[in-house]
Amino acid sequence: MENNLKRATVVIPAYNEEEGLGGLFDRIQELELFDYFEFILVDDGSTDSTADVGRRYPVRVVRHGVNKGYGASLKTGIRKASCPLVITMDSDGQHDPSSLSQIADMLGEYDMVIGERSATSYQVSSRKSGKWLIRKTGEMLVDQKLPDYNSGLRGFHRELIFKLLHLMPNGFSFSTTSTLAFLKEGYTIGTFPIEVSQRVGRASTVKFIRDGSKTFLLLFRIIMLFNPLKVFFPASVIIGLGGLLWGSYGYLFFGRFSNMGMVMITLGMFLFFFGLLADQIAILNRKR
């Protein structure tokens, strides 16, 4: 079956995944999915036989000369995709490829589809509290309940994600950014439950302290890009009111409006106008 007749392109980023990759492709072959989907394996500068494993199957292998990151691998695969629908899945055996057909079907109704991990799915216990905190922070910033914002099993229309690629990071936070970007742009997101198994092969390279802090910065960065007033307006009101209260206290009890109160009120005004300016710049950036 020619690529233009296949249902979707499946992008699989991989870095030193030779141990689990063969089992994943064996499962795909067992389900006869090679006949209906285009598969692109993006070898992100692996030092093992990841690329060789991929070449044993009807898979298009694309290699990075150096390790660029999870997000960079997905961007490479999306650019190489020949189908109008793109699905991403992990290479470590955690995702069941039998879900690919359901994602392709749901993309007929939604702009993005996310495999939402159930409560019984495998996850590293040390990351649960961090993920919960990040989710709540994201929900506060986008004013709605977040789906499984960092699930690696997801699909989207290529033309939509292609327009947002310049906003996507090269690191593991591609999934988080794409979720928030689609929400802020008003696209529809559908979800369905999945069970995630323990990864096969090497241990995960995601570290809570290092990568968790990056995700927090990313959440604020993406809101600054899509809705800067969400940050600037509350800050300007809090600081401005604080200055007014402080100055009024000084005037009532000491007969003079304090200099600190004036500084805080002025700072609040500047933050508000900076927010308006940032909002206009964000609109111009999104049009790019």
H helices of the chain, in order, are: 18-30, 50-54, 70-80, 100-106, 128-142, 158-163, 174-184, 208-226, 229-254, 259-287
Q: What is the pLDDT of residue 125?
A: 54
Question: How far is 22 from 103, CA to CA, in rounded Å?
Answer: 23
221-259 pLDDT, tens digit per residue, is 777 877 888 889 999 999 999 999 999 988 888 888 889
Contact between residue 9 and residue 161 where contact means Cβ atoms under 8 Å apart = no
Q: What is the pLDDT of residue 124?
A: 53
- Burial environment of residue 192 by CB neighbours within 10 A (0 to 12, 13 to 18, 19 or more): middle
Residue 39 pLDDT > 80: yes
SS3 per-residue string spanning 88-114: ECCCCCCCCHHHHHHHHHHCCCCCEEE
CA distances from 224 to 86, 118, 244 (A): 27, 31, 27
Q: What is the pLDDT of residue 113?
A: 97
Q: Which two tokens stand for residue 219?
A: 């959440």
Mean pLDDT of the chain: 86
63-122 pLDDT, tens digit per residue, is 999 999 999 999 999 999 999 999 999 988 888 999 999 999 999 999 999 999 876 655
On whether the pTM is more than 0.85, the answer is no
What pairs with residue 38 in β-bridges? Answer: 9
Contact between residue 174 and residue 168 where contact means Cβ atoms under 8 Å apart = yes
Question: How far is 238 from 131, CA to CA, in rounded Å?
Answer: 28
Q: Which helix (H) or strand (E) holds 60?
A: strand 60-64
Q: Percent of the chain, pLDDT > 70?
A: 85
Nearest to 104 by CA among 17, 59, 37: 37
Q: Which helix (H) or strand (E) holds 42?
A: strand 37-44
Q: What is the pLDDT of residue 287?
A: 66
Q: Which two tokens stand for residue 235?
A: 């800050």
Confidence tier at 220 by pLDDT (50, 70, 90): confident
Q: Which two tokens stand for residue 172?
A: 């593991």
Of 61-65, 163-167, 220-224, where does mean pLDDT reach its minimum?
220-224
- 3-class DSSP assignment, residue 190: strand
From the candidate CATH numbers 3.90.550.10, 3.30.70.120, 3.30.470.20, 1.10.3720.10, the one assigned to the domain spanning 3-226: 3.90.550.10
Long-range Cβ contact pairs of 215-220 (< 8 A, separation 24 or more): 215/134, 215/150, 215/173, 215/176, 216/134, 216/137, 218/169, 218/173, 218/176, 218/177, 219/134, 219/137, 219/138, 219/141, 219/176, 219/180, 220/141
